Amino acid sequence: MEDEREALTLVARKPSFSLPTACPNCLPVYIYLKFANIPFTLEFNLIHPDSDQIPFVESGDYVAYNNENGGVLQKLKEDGIVDLDAEVSSIPEWVSFKAMVSHGLLMQSCMNYG
């Protein structure tokens, strides 16, 4: 599906405050797609700006609406379009625990010498 998939389009509310979209529901979807390095175009729905379906992502016949169970991001994950957490589950939990402990010990030693 990846090779034949059309480009994604994120339909959001208009920009404001120097942000790509001022909508608190749209901005997380925008940032998620940017973090995932997924190419997409950003379009604005000016006809029905208060629709509960905004934001939504479309690609050809595929559409993931905000008002579906779990919202846009959950739908994109379930359908295998994008999932930033996919590889995280393969990392053992002790790795993150070790990093937190090491960071805490480093911070404590810096405070003792500072």
Alpha helix ranges (H) inside the chain: 26-35, 71-78, 93-113
Q: According to the model, what pLDDT value does residue 89 have?
A: 63
Q: At what angle do helices 26-35 and 71-78 cross, to 10 degrees?
A: 40
| Each residue's pLDDT tens digit, 34-82 | 988 889 999 998 777 777 788 999 998 999 988 888 889 999 999 888 8
CATH superfamily of 8-86: Glutaredoxin (3.40.30.10)
Q: What is the pTM of this model?
A: 0.69
| Residue 3 reports pLDDT greater than 60 | no
What does the domain layout of the chain look like in residue ranges? 8-86
Please report how many Cα atoms fall inside a 13 Å half-sphere around the Cα of residue 83, on the Cβ side: 13
| Each residue's pLDDT tens digit, 14-30 | 888 898 988 888 999 99
Do 39 and 7 touch, CB atoms closer than 8 A? Answer: yes
